[in-house]
A and B are shown apart, each in its own frame.
Chain A
Amino acid sequence: MASMFEEFEIHSLSAPLFTLGGHPVAFTNSTLFMLLAIVASTCLMVVAMRPQALVPGRWQMVAETFYNMIASMVESTAGEKAKPFFPLIFSIFIFILFCNLLGLIPGSLAVTSHIVINFAIAIGLFLIIIIAGFVNQGWHFLQIFAPPGVPVPILLFLVPIELFSFLVRPFSLSVRLFANMLAGHILLGVFAGMTISLLAAGWFLKPLGVLPLVANIAITGFEFFVAFLQAYIYAILAAVYLRDAVESH
């Protein structure tokens, strides 16, 4: 009997290529799907914009919609000074979107349902924000923990709380995406199991097997929406955290 987590397992697809700190590094199915996500998104953006027509055709409309959505969101959330960071936010958005969507193909691995990948992106973003904050504002960057004009007794409580909520940011970003993708795929698996159980039961239960199948179709539609929404939420929160780095209070 396969465990419920079998669809999330990482298998090596090749022999170990090299060793990093005692751990063999091979080409896994996780690597394959991340590569597919990058290739698909690059193809979309490059090939769709090739006509460069003033009145966009269908694919150009898709690429321009993605660009405009993220560009207007970054500008309205993080301000004018965050424009140099737009490629970072856009890359994060497109990568997470395509990884989420590719995970919905039956038999594929949802790359973002592993916390390590989300955490790597979140930690990278977090370090960029800290470095950009110190480069842009110098020591004034620490004012996000101690806003000016706060009396000292309140500061004693405020600074640890603010520090903790700042340090929790990469964890909350990564866990949000990870748990959404994990829960979605487990839900799909549960209803699929129900369909199979009902179809394997007695003759009077077999017609009922269509109900979990219909629910599965509806949940798959919902999972497409969640894939898009979670990628967008990741981008929005990245822009909100970026505002702390580029705007001085």
Chain B
Amino acid sequence: MEGSVKYLGAGIAMIGALGAGIGLGLIFSAWISAIARNPAAEAKFRLTGYLGFAVTELVMLMCFVIAMMIMNAK
């Protein structure tokens, strides 16, 4: 087979994005439940919601960075 194993490595590295996907689903489901229970206090949930989204997204981005590093190896 022509080519290098680094493509396989990059593909395996991106499996870690699964965890981030599940985590994001949990964050947004809690956010929606919170807004549904108390629509008047929506502004209070916004800060925590965006913060949780960004911190969870970081897991997926770390996987992407590792995949890019593997793809650019010699």
Question: Which A residues are within 8 Å of any B CB, using their own CB?
Answer: 73, 76-77, 172, 175-176, 178-180, 182-183, 229-230, 232-233, 236-237, 240
Contacts and interface: CB of A to CB of B under 8 A. Distances in A.
Nearest to A240: B51
Given A176-B54, A230-B54, A73 B62 contact: no
A243 to B, nearest CB: 13
A175 B62 contact: yes
Interface of B: 47, 50-51, 54, 57-58, 61-62, 64-65, 68
B58 A172 contact: yes
Contacts, number: 37
Contacts of A230: 54
Nearest to A236: B51
B58 A176 contact: yes
B20 to A, nearest CB: 12
17 contacts: A76-B47, A77-B47, A175-B61, A175-B62, A176-B58, A176-B61, A178-B65, A179-B62, A183-B61, A183-B64, A229-B54, A230-B54, A233-B50, A233-B54, A236-B47, A237-B54, A240-B51
B46 to A, nearest CB: 10
B47 A73 contact: yes
Contact of A175 (B47, B50, B51, B65): B65
Given A175-B62, A178-B65, A229-B54, 16 more contacts: A73-B47, A77-B47, A175-B58, A176-B58, A179-B62, A179-B64, A179-B65, A180-B57, A180-B61, A183-B64, A229-B50, A233-B51, A236-B50, A236-B51, A236-B54, A240-B51
A176 B57 contact: yes
A190 B3 CA distance: 21
A230 B55 CA distance: 11
A176 B58 CA distance: 6
Contacts of A183: 61, 64
A172 B58 CA distance: 7
A166 B69 CA distance: 25
A175 B63 CA distance: 11
Contacts of A73: 47
3 nearest A-B residue pairs (beta carbon): A179-B61, A233-B54, A176-B58
